[in-house]
């Protein structure tokens, strides 16, 4: 592949793509053009509230400034390769991120809300045994423009239906792409941009403890943790990052995080894998870890994908598992699969990962990807 195909188009043209730049970076950018900080707010309003991507149409900026902006900057969305619609109303976009790679974004409509599930990486290095993205290996972190671009593409297409919630539960491990994910989170929360409340933006992580502790200090949005097993021996196999950050350390970090949360509750995701982690003993062990803590459990029936070696637990077993949790004083719910007819359900997102590095935790991760 010629080296220049790896360069973002925006950089090739020598223009800066302002999409996804957080408020403080925009203030700095306008400063470099000898403009006042409030210009950043004006731009964000046009871009994220009115969804205007053309500097020329931003009529409260002077004609001179509009021309200057068009000369040095751009507002470029990633290209959509395809859109699929599920029988249940779920929608999935395949989005080109260059170098023959593509990531997926999913919209899940519900009676009182509309949730967008965004990807943060092309592929994933964490190699969780039950996840389609993990099987692809890791290619690279998405830029803030590519992450925020997913939100823009979906909101433009869905209008007037609003996106009320954003979850970082698509492809990739959001905390392994910390800086870019936090830039996007700042825009999602900013009143001059999307203005979403902290409870409506959720990061889901397999458990990167140092980044989790940092996030607790920097932005206290809702947190979901992919626990999936109540003992290290099993979690080491299912979620290999556990070998670096074991359950006790992860839970300590979660309780610290909960201290700063408005809702004060961390959601623990627990995938139901037949004969693997779904016994009554597992439920009791899980309850023991979480009882009297600011925690709730979301059971996720396993969603199969081509080549997956697991099966989903039987409904009666899932029922028994949730009853055991509830009778031990744990709040627990079951996540209904959405969009599984278009492979848009949890863990089914594969996109197109041009896997040049084939980095997986199971092989050798350290030193290549920060965990
Ligand atoms: N890297 C983040 C985001 C992953 S996707 C994380 O690990 O949390 C969001 C959720 O889907 C995670 O809980 C993940 O473990 C779960 N998941 C992955 N593969 C799945 C599958 N095949 N069926 C059901 N859930 C799955």
Element (H, E) at 173: none
The answer to whether residue 8 scores a pLDDT higher than 60 is no
CA of 308 to the centre of ligand 1 (A): 14
Nearest CA to ligand 1 atom 17: 347
Q: With left for phi above 0 and alpha for psi between -120 and 50, is residue 88 left, alpha or beta?
A: alpha
Catalytic residue flag (residue 312): no
- What per-residue confidence (pLDDT) applies to 6? 41
- What per-residue confidence (pLDDT) applies to 134? 86
Ligand 1 contact, 302 CB (< 6 A): yes
- What per-residue confidence (pLDDT) applies to 354? 73
Question: What value does the mean pLDDT take over residues 211-238?
Answer: 96
Question: What value does the mean pLDDT take over residues 255-260?
Answer: 93
Q: In this structure, what is the dihedral angle of CA atoms 55, 58, 64, 65, given to the nearest 10 degrees?
A: -70
H/E/C letters for each residue in 64-80?
HHHHHHHHHEECCCCEE
- Name the pLDDT band for 367 (thresholds 50, 70, 90): very low
- What per-residue confidence (pLDDT) applies to 209? 97
- Name the pLDDT band for 302 (thresholds 50, 70, 90): very high
- Separation CA 364–CA 366 (nearest Å): 6
> What share of the chain in percent tops pLDDT 70?
92
Nearest CA to ligand 1 atom 12: 226
- What per-residue confidence (pLDDT) applies to 328? 97
Catalytic residue flag (residue 104): yes
Question: Peptide bond before 160: cis, by omega within 30 degrees of 0?
Answer: yes
Nearest CA to ligand 1 atom 21: 347
- What per-residue confidence (pLDDT) applies to 313? 97
- What per-residue confidence (pLDDT) applies to 365? 45
> What share of the chain in percent tops pLDDT 90?
81
pTM above 0.75, yes or no: yes
Answer for the pair 170, 118: CB distance below 8 angstroms, yes or no.
yes
- What per-residue confidence (pLDDT) applies to 357? 57
Q: Residue 370: exposed, middle, or buried by beta-carbon count in 10 A (0-12, 13-18, 19+)?
A: middle
Q: What is the DSSP string of 84-126?
A: EE-TTS-EEEEEE-STT-EEEEEEEEETTEEEEE---EEE-SS
Domains and CATH numbers, the chain: 15-74 (1.10.150.530), 79-370 (3.20.20.70)
- What per-residue confidence (pLDDT) applies to 361? 57
Ligand 1 contact, 269 CB (< 6 A): yes
Of the listed 104, 146, 173, 269, which one is catalytic?
104
The answer to whether residue 158 scores a pLDDT higher than 60 is yes
The answer to whether residue 127 scores a pLDDT higher than 80 is yes
Ligand 1 contact, 152 CB (< 6 A): no
- Name the pLDDT band for 265 (thresholds 50, 70, 90): very high
Q: Report which of residues 62 and 357 the model is more confident about.
A: 62
Backbone angles phi, psi at 153, to 5 degrees: -60, -45
Q: What is the DSSP string of 223-268?
A: EEEE---SSHHHHHHHSGGGGTS-HHHHHHHHHHHHHH-SS--EEE
Question: What value does the mean pLDDT take over residues 134-156?
Answer: 94
- What per-residue confidence (pLDDT) applies to 307? 87
Ligand 1 contact, 347 CB (< 6 A): yes
The answer to whether residue 210 scores a pLDDT higher than 70 is yes
């Amino acid at each position: 592949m010629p080296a220049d195909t790896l360069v973002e188009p925006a950089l090739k043209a020598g223009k800066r793509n302002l999409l996804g730049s957080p408020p403080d970076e925009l203030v700095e950018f306008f400063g470099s053009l000898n403009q006042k900080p409030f210009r950043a707010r004006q731009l964000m309003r046009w871009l994220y509230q009115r969804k205007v991507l053309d500097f020329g149409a931003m009529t409260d900026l002077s004609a001179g400034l509009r021309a200057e902006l068009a000369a040095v900057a751009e507002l470029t969305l990633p290209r959509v390769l395809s859109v699929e619609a599920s029988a249940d109303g779920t929608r999935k976009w395949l989005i080109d991120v260059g170098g023959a790679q593509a990531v997926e974004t999913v919209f899940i409509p519900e009676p009182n809300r509309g949730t967008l599930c965004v990807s943060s990486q092309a592929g994933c290095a964490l190699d969780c045994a039950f996840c389609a993205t993990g099987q692809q290996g890791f290619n690279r972190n998405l830029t803030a423009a590519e992450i925020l671009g997913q939100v823009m593409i979906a909101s433009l297409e869905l209008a007037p239906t609003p996106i009320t919630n954003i979850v970082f539960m698509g492809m990739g491990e959001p905390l392994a792409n910390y800086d870019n994910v936090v830039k996007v989170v700042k825009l999602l929360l900013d009143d001059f941009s999307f203005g979403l409340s902290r409870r409506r933006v959720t990061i889901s992580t397999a458990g990167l403890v140092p980044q989790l502790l940092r996030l607790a200090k920097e932005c206290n949005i809702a947190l979901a943790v992919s626990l999936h097993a109540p003992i290290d021996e099993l979690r080491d196999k299912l979620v290999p990052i556990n070998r670096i950050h074991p359950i006790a350390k992860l839970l300590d970090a979660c309780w610290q995080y909960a201290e700063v949360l408005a809702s004060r509750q961390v959601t623990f995701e627990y995938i139901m894998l037949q004969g693997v982690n779904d016994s009554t003993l597992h439920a009791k062990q899980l309850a023991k870890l979480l009882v009297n803590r600011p925690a709730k459990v979301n059971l996720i029936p396993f969603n199969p994908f081509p080549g997956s070696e697991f099966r989903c637990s039987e409904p009666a077993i899932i029922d028994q598992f949730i009853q055991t949790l509830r009778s031990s004083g744990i709040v627990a719910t079951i996540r209904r699969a959405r969009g599984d007819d278009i492979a848009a359900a949890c863990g089914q997102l594969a996109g197109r990962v041009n896997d040049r590095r084939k980095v997986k935790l199971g092989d050798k991760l350290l030193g290549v990807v920060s965990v």
